[in-house]
């Protein structure tokens, strides 16, 4: 009814050793409600939290679209001006 095909459920939990456990599930809510389409879990240090989020985004994007995600890439551009 809302036009939603899937949802992502995730969490970040600190672990006893000072690292973090980052996990997510991509869940179907349309065709096969409740079916897990993708899931992953990473144990990482604080320094890698952003990278883990981008990795999960890449995996989810690719699962939904079939196109490789670019969230972990860095984009740079150069502007040339006269003056």
Total structural domains in the chain?
1
Asked whether residue 51 is assigned to any structural domain, the reply reads yes
pLDDT at 80: 86
pLDDT at 83: 65
Q: Contact 29/55 with Cβ under 8 angstroms?
A: no
The domain that holds 61 is classified in CATH as 3.40.50.10070
Asked whether residue 78 is assigned to any structural domain, the reply reads no
Per-residue pLDDT band for 1 (boundaries 50, 70, 90) equals low
Can you name the residues that pair with 44 across neighbouring β-strands?
20
Q: Which of 28, 29, 73, 22 is nearest to 45 (CA)?
A: 22
With vertex at residue 11, the alpha carbon angle to CA 9 and CA 16, rounded to the nearest 5 degrees, is 155
Report the alpha-carbon distance of residue 42 to residue 22 in Å, rounded: 5
Q: What is the pLDDT of residues 2-56, one digit of tens each?
A: 789 999 999 999 999 999 999 999 999 998 989 999 999 999 999 999 999 999 9
Calculate Rg over the CA atoms of the chain: 17
Asked whether residue 71 is assigned to any structural domain, the reply reads no
pTM: 0.79
């Amino acid at each position: 009814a809302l036009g939603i095909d899937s949802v992502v459920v995730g969490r970040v939990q600190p672990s006893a050793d000072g690292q973090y456990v980052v996990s997510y599930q991509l869940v179907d809510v349309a065709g096969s409600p409740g079916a897990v389409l993708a899931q992953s879990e990473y144990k990482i240090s604080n320094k890698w939290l952003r990278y883990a989020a981008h990795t999960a985004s890449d995996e989810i994007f690719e699962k939904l679209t079939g196109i490789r995600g670019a969230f972990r890439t860095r984009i740079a551009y150069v502007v040339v001006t006269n003056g």
